[in-house]
Structure 1
């Protein structure tokens, strides 16, 4: 393997961006395990006070998640969602956000987000870690990113995710946010915001398994739960597409009929998590490592698809709205791919 080395002379700004990106990438891959290790160390090495506080904290985590879905109302801890440190992570790629239609703040929204990629980087940055651009484009609309429910019963990890505006993707949690009042006078809206926009990476772990540079393979045809939820809560569905998301990481080759894919699929069924083996770049080379490549990611936010609220949506109506989502994504991809993807003529959208 021929190694492509990074240049020796790199600006301090780019080095800082690389360090910040390394921090976030390492955190995303290891935080669940690290959180449990820290907790075990506190119980083993801590004094009597620490050993007393840890069980109290664990009981709090259990009951808070069971009762409140670990919810953080409003925009949460803004100091951790809009700062210069996080902006270096955005600028590393860079990640952009493009608005194509207004999102009136008199509704709550489901953002049907594609593709998942390895980490869902575009969505996480624009709607979680550095939300200044979002707040300027969509005033009075709170951005939230939904992720695996089990993360919110993992001590310590849950606190960091909540500080970044992430929420549980469980049906109960999503219903909680999507059913919030849009009345400016309601006590929940004292922060000046009257709408919640919850991004769901619909393709999930299955779609992540198909992530390879230049391949836009969406897992959507049989994913209709988000449509049913939208209809039950009366929430418009906003299709959003992150161009370049699949290009920042590759992964070890795992065709559908390979042994590796079969193992990955088994682990996914047991845990809900895809055990990916990502391939990126290193600190001093562009050939291999755990860092993502410096390639632009552009999240395009489409127009909301209105739904008629119904507590018991019919299968025909669910299929109708689901078809509109697919059509909107296909149109969005064809309209914007030439602008945001190099070699776009050879890139096709596959929906399975």
Structure 2
């Protein structure tokens, strides 16, 4: 394979963006393992004081998760959700956010987000790491990003993902967030915000395994849990689509009948995480490495789909709302693909 090297004369701003992206990418891929490694080192090699502090932390973590599912109320510390470091990461691609309609802050929302891609980069930046643009477009609505519940049972890792505005996608956590009062006078809204918007990457690890440049393959046909949650809590579903998400990374070929895919599927079944082998670019070359490619990501936030609240969702009604989500995603893809996807004539939306 011929290596395409980066030129020597690159603007300092772009070099800084590349450096920040390299650091954050390594962090995202290794954080769960590093967190467990740090804890193991402290427990095995730390003195009595460090071990005692770690055990106290374990108790706190257990109690806090049992009490409120590790939810960090409000938007947390803004320094962790909007700063120059994350702005460089946003500008590297760049990542954009497009509003199609207003979302009134008198409701709580589920944002059904597609596609997952390798890391869900667009959604995680717009609604987690760098939320300034979100707050500008959707004032008084707190952005949250749902992720695996097990992340909040992992020491140290839980603190970092909480700082980034992430919440557990467990049933209990979502119910707590989506039933929060929208009354401006409620004590829980003293931060000036009256609504929660929780982004759920519905396709999850399964959809990530199908992520390859130019291929928009969504895992959705049999994913109805988010619809049931919306009906139980009376929360509108807002479809969102991140154009370009699948283009920033490729991955080692893993067709459905391959040995690699079978291994990935087994690990996903056991852990909830699919062990992907991403392929990107390097720091000094554009051909191979662990960095994502500099390709534009545009997250388009669609119109809310209202639902009739019911503690026991009727199966036929769940199917009806689910079909509407699919239809809205297909309509959104057709409406915006020419604007946000290069060579869009060859791009098709596959829902499986």
C-alpha distance in 1, partners of 2:351/2:135?
A: 31
Which residue pairs with 1:101 in the alignment? 101
Paired residues for 1:31-50 under 5 Å: 31-50=31-50
C-alpha distance in 2, partners of 1:59/1:206?
A: 33
Paired residues for 1:279-290 under 5 Å: 279-290=279-290
C-alpha distance in 2, partners of 1:48/1:269?
A: 38
Paired residues for 1:155-194 under 5 Å: 155-194=155-194
Which residue pairs with 2:230 in the alignment? 230
Which residue pairs with 1:265 in the alignment? 265
Unmatched runs of 5 consecutive residues or more in structure 2: none
Paired residues for 1:10-89 under 5 Å: 10-89=10-89
Query: How far has the Cα of 1:65 moved from its partner?
Result: 1.1
C-alpha distance in 2, partners of 1:337/1:27?
A: 31
SS at match of 2:221: coil
* Bigger mean CA offset, 130-139 vs 50-59: 50-59
SS at match of 2:142: strand
SS at match of 1:71: coil
* Bigger mean CA offset, 211-220 vs 4-13: 4-13
SS at match of 2:61: helix
SS at match of 1:65: helix
Which residue pairs with 1:205 in the alignment? 205
Query: How far has the Cα of 1:47 moved from its partner?
Result: 2.6
Structure 1 runs, 4 residues or longer, greater than 6 Å off: none
Query: How far has the Cα of 1:130 moved from its partner?
Result: 0.3
C-alpha distance in 2, partners of 1:310/1:329?
A: 24
SS at match of 1:197: strand
Query: How far has the Cα of 1:67 moved from its partner?
Result: 2.2
TM-score (norm 1): 0.99
Which residue pairs with 1:242 in the alignment? 242
C-alpha distance in 1, partners of 2:257/2:66?
A: 39
Which residue pairs with 2:319 in the alignment? 319
* Bigger mean CA offset, 242-251 vs 10-19: 10-19
Contact 1:77-1:164 within 8 A present in 2 as well: no
| Aligned-pair Cα RMSD in Å | 0.7
SS at match of 1:146: strand
C-alpha distance in 2, partners of 1:50/1:306?
A: 51
* Bigger mean CA offset, 200-209 vs 14-23: 14-23
Deviation readout 1:23-53 (Å, 9 max, x if unpaired): 1111111001100111122223323221110
C-alpha distance in 2, partners of 1:87/1:319?
A: 40
C-alpha distance in 1, partners of 2:212/2:90?
A: 21
C-alpha distance in 1, partners of 2:312/2:47?
A: 54
Query: How far has the Cα of 1:87 moved from its partner?
Result: 0.3
C-alpha distance in 2, partners of 1:24/1:110?
A: 27
C-alpha distance in 2, partners of 1:46/1:313?
A: 51
Unmatched runs of 5 consecutive residues or more in structure 1: none
Query: How far has the Cα of 1:200 moved from its partner?
Result: 0.1
* Bigger mean CA offset, 26-35 vs 36-45: 36-45
Contact 1:265-1:274 within 8 A present in 2 as well: yes
* Bigger mean CA offset, 158-167 vs 64-73: 64-73
Contact 1:249-1:292 within 8 A present in 2 as well: yes
C-alpha distance in 1, partners of 2:264/2:39?
A: 28
